[in-house]
Chain A
């Protein structure tokens, strides 16, 4: 029964994630004074990709790469509560499991794209893994005060421990919240941290040799990734919400990211990592000091 529940959950999150991608394209188009595609466009794109008659593969790992990436992000969903709904699995310390599972996606793509031996893919992978040194550290340090203050390392418990509106972690620990927002921009891979994909520079990086069904898998991986990454942020900083408000929260976090994306150019890799080790790191450390000194 819970397996069926999980697949329904995965389907819901995939479709909502694809719609978010559609909204992103529409919003970007409006910023650029265009009409833009309909918001269901990414769903049509994915259907088209899965309807392709053939797709070139460069070996076993190249085929398995997108599947590993999608499985990794799907496994993260087991631990991600949609607002105040109980997740399928929760125990003390599941935050660390989630942080490990978030790496499985890029790693799967790295293994797959590595086998294609395309130099653009290799550069993209190197950038993706170096970028993690930037945003993963900031994300962990920004969420640390919330877990420290509530004496737990379980995502579900930290949501319940927060309480309603004026007791949100976003209001109690505003400095960490700002550091977290910086990290989410990198987690989502939006500009100015778009350097993993960079279509005009390294021809879409790790995806360069993927076509047809593989690209379809990478699209839905990205769609679920959007919900997981913004959802984790909303869960940790905005306390217990019902499922509707949870999606409203993730939507606005994503919208803020997309609006920044629409007007920003792209960093080089060393600039991006150096940026994260500057102001966001300062905010993250101040956030930790705040919870350490004032409690």
Chain B
């Protein structure tokens, strides 16, 4: 059991949902300048294979549907990092009519990186912090989604048609 927990903290496969401007910061984080693969973090192609969902920047209502669907496809335990001010309070889109302001209302978030944009150092720092949290068993946001499923679905249904976009269990 301890071994599984250790391996979960040391091997994080990431799906970066790059709809926002934060996507620009990820190529330097992956490649030779900052090299996140030395911490066992790799980008993966599909939600089924990944453990970590990285929401880079603002989410419009249209992309939120896809994010929720991708999140529900990921096998548990799964982790979410909200990236940039936009996921915390809307950031510079605070009065936009079609951008969601708080990511927390729709999917549970383990960790936020603030800033607009956060530098690659901040991203690496967040990964190391998440790794620590997993090793201690504190990264339990995915349990919140299962326990408060109705609450999340209620919030989601206020902005889009939940029936059409949820993964059927």
B-contact bits for A205-224, CB 8 A (1 contact / 0 none): 00111111001000000000
Decide yes or no whether A204 CB sits under 8 A from chain B: yes
A34-B37, A34-B38 known; A204+B49 contact, CB < 8 A? yes
A-contact bits for B26-45, CB 8 A (1 contact / 0 none): 00000110010111100011
CB distance A54 to B3 under 8 Å? no
CB distance B31 to A32 under 8 Å? yes
8 Å CB contacts to A: which residues of B1-43? 3-8, 10-11, 13, 31-32, 35, 37-40
CB distance A208 to B76 under 8 Å? no
Q: Is the interface of A mostly helix, strand, loop or mixed?
A: loop
CB distance A41 to B40 under 8 Å? yes
Total A residues in contact with B, Cβ cutoff 8 Å? 32
The size class of the interface chain B forms with chain A is 20 to 34
Residues on A with beta carbons closer than 8 Å to the beta carbon of B3: 47
Closest to B142 in A: A53
Residues on A with beta carbons closer than 8 Å to the beta carbon of B4: 47-48, 50-51
* Residue from A29, A33, A203, A211 having most chain B Cβ neighbours under 10 A: A211
A29-B35, A41-B40 known; A208+B75 contact, CB < 8 A? no
B-contact bits for A42-63, CB 8 A (1 contact / 0 none): 0011011011111110000000
Decide yes or no whether A163 CB sits under 8 A from chain B: no
8 Å CB contacts to B: which residues of A112-128? none
A25-B37, A37-B37, A37-B40 known; A44+B10 contact, CB < 8 A? yes
Decide yes or no whether B73 CB sits under 8 A from chain A: yes
Residues on B with beta carbons closer than 8 Å to the beta carbon of A54: 75-76
Number of A-B contacts (CB under 8 A): 89
Report Cα–Cα, A142/B49, bound state, in Å: 37
Decide yes or no whether B154 CB sits under 8 A from chain A: no
Residues on B with beta carbons closer than 8 Å to the beta carbon of A47: 3-4, 7, 11
A34-B35, A34-B38 known; A211+B48 contact, CB < 8 A? yes
Residues on B with beta carbons closer than 8 Å to the beta carbon of A45: 7, 11, 13, 40
CB distance B49 to A32 under 8 Å? no
Report Cα–Cα, A45/B4, bound state, in Å: 10
Decide yes or no whether A93 CB sits under 8 A from chain B: no
A-B CB contact pairs (8 Å), 22 listed:
A32-B31, A32-B32, A34-B38, A36-B35, A36-B37, A36-B38, A37-B37, A37-B39, A41-B10, A44-B6, A44-B10, A47-B4, A47-B11, A48-B8, A48-B51, A51-B4, A52-B77, A54-B75, A204-B44, A211-B47, A211-B48, A211-B49
Residues of B within 8 A of A (CB): 3-8, 10-11, 13, 31-32, 35, 37-40, 44-49, 51, 73-77
Residues of A within 8 A of B (CB): 25, 29, 32-38, 41, 44-45, 47-48, 50-56, 199-200, 203-204, 207-212, 215
Extra contacts besides A207-B49, A208-B45 (9): CB < 8 Å: A29-B38, A34-B31, A36-B38, A48-B4, A52-B75, A52-B76, A54-B76, A203-B45, A211-B73
